[in-house]
Every structure is written in C-alpha cells, then in structure tokens.
Chain A
Amino acid sequence: MTECVECGAEVSLHDDLEVGEIIDCTTCGAELEVVDTEPPVLEQAPELEEDWGE
C-alpha cells in the first residue's frame, strides 16, 4: 500500500510491480508512474508529449 500523490488515497499495488509502469488511482483517477519498487514510490505520470502507441 502506498499513497496517491494526487489525492492521498491509498493505492493498492500488485506484486510484480515494474519501474516505469503506470498505475491508475481508483479514487481520483490520476495516472501514477512507478519510479521505484523497493519500497514502491509513485509520482504523477508525465503527460503524453506526442502521438504514441500503435
């Protein structure tokens, strides 16, 4: 368990967390990026800067 940097709500994290992964806060909907896994540290995910994806 760690806190959402946006709303402070607890965010539940699964076991196979990866640095670089994006997690959605189920309380406020913010996109959070995992910047560390031991212990888990979340930051606000950066905005998409250009078109991406397939």
Chain B
Amino acid sequence: MNVGILYSRIRKDEKLLLSELRDRDHEVTKIDVRKQTFDISEAPAAFADLDIVVDRCLATSRSLYATQFFEAYGIPVVNSHETADICADKVKNSLALEKAGVPTPATKVAFTKETAMEAIEDFGYPCVLKPVVGSWGRLMAKIDSESAAEAILEHKATLGHYEHKVFYIQEFVEKPGRDIRVLAVDGEPIAGMVRSSDHWITNAAKGAETDVFEPDEEALELVERASDAVGGGLLGIDLMETDDGYTVHEVNHTVEFKALDEAVETDIAGTVVDWLEEKAKAADPDLEVTA
C-alpha cells in the first residue's frame, strides 16, 4: 500500500513509523504540510495514489484542516477529523468523556475572570487551571490560594490569546505520585507507561521517570470507552489512579510514542503499522496490504 505521512517535522516517532513501513516494502509518500495547498474541490496530484494518510502534523490548526481535506477527497486519514477536533480542545474532550460515562475529573469552564474565580472558590484549593489548547503540560497552573488565583487569572486575561480567555478549571486529583499513559489503536491498548515525578505535572517531556504499566480489567475497559468517546484512532489515553478507581484526564490524538517505545518490549511501530494495514484494507477491500 501507499501510505502518506503528513508532517511538518520528522521526529523520532515519525522515523520509527517510516522505517517500519519501508521494512515492509510499503510505498511511503512524505507530505510536508508547509508545501501543500488544498483545493476545496480537487485533490492535489501528489495524493492520487495514497491508500491511507497518517496525520502527524504538530500544529493543531493544520491538523484540523488537513484531516477535513483528506476526508473530502475520499482518502482515509488517521486520526479522523472528528477525533482531532475533539482531542485538540480540552472542553470538547471533557464533554465527550463525561457523555460516555468515563470517569473524568470534575471540570468547570468560565469566560471571565470573575466567573473563573467563582469556579475556583467552588473547587477550593488546590485546583488546576489549564489552557483549552495546549501540550506537554505547558501553561498549566496548580492554584494553591486565592492570591495565586487572582494573579494567574489577571495574567491570563491580560497577556493571553483569546483561547486563554476560556478558563478551564479542574479539581486537583490527589494521585499516588504517578500517572498513566496508555497508547491504543481504536481502543486496543498497545502499551502502557506510568510516569512518576515529585512534580505534580508528570510529563515525559518534563523529565518524569517511566515504568511499564500493564492495564488491568478496569483500565482496559476505560481505555476502550475513552477511545470510542472521541471517535477512535491512534490515541494516548491519560489516566490517574484515585481511591475510587481510575479517572481519565484526557485523550491525545497527536500522540508521541518514542518514550513508550524505549520503556516497553512491545514493537510499537510494528503494531501501529499492522493497524494501518487493517484500516487501509477496511477502506478498500481489494487493496493488497502485504508486500
């Protein structure tokens, strides 16, 4: 098959995918999103032979538009536009999880400093303020006191992009010093990792220690339901353990797996490519997916 890799930067994750695809003798078309124009009625010639496209765009807006174009051109794209749209926005993400009955932290959204302050006081201290779009745990604030809340809200209102004027406020989940990331394809876990750190943001990009996580029954079920809730795809599902079981914080659609690849025995790129072959085959039953 011919796999299009839509990208703006080739990271270790993309390299792992590219080498796995090439090892299996698939054709690979690298599509640098910065060099494309997308016509609303006609697919660019470069896309003519593609059997499936993997969106590895880093920038959210590019990802959201490009997936719409591929779907309009009738080319299967993973992750789908629906999934990207829900996952790129923490509000949509939370609503989707809640609607699907997936345990997720109590969350409130407010549009002004005053109402945000009310929501914060409602949760009590500490609580957490997050940007609605954002990555790698950046710009997240744990709010410990009223004076901290006032200062942060003031800064956001003054300095922020309009997206920072949507205040996303969440209960602070007391966790046993670690959180969990499960990489899954259409709800089927490929590998899991726990990240431990003394810091409250346990993000691999922020230097947390990692260990393998083997999902139990409850985690397996939640991963599947969380994946379904956002429309499926290649996803990173973030869970935490609480006294009442797991809570799903968010589902990531532009998932990085290099840290996981180093932490577990599983051949991650291989499993992802197996799944891509299945996806392409499902879209076109006549397609020969093995070389």
Contact = CB atoms under 8 A, between A and B. Distances in A.
Interface of A: 16, 18-22, 33-34, 45, 48-54
B61 A50 contact: yes
Interface residues of B, number: 26
B19, B30, B58: most-surrounded residue (chain A CB, <10 A): B58
Nearest to B56: A20
B59 interface: yes
Given A50-B60, A53-B254, A19 B30 contact: yes
A16 B15 contact: yes
A40 to B, nearest CB: 14
Contact of B59 (A45, A52, A54): A52
B9 A54 contact: no
Contacts of B134: 51
Contact of B254 (A18, A20, A34, A54): A54
Contacts of B61: 50
Contacts of B252: 54
Interface in B4-18: 7-11, 14-15, 18
A6 B205 CA distance: 26
Interface string B5-37: 001111100110011000000000010100000
A51 B7 contact: no
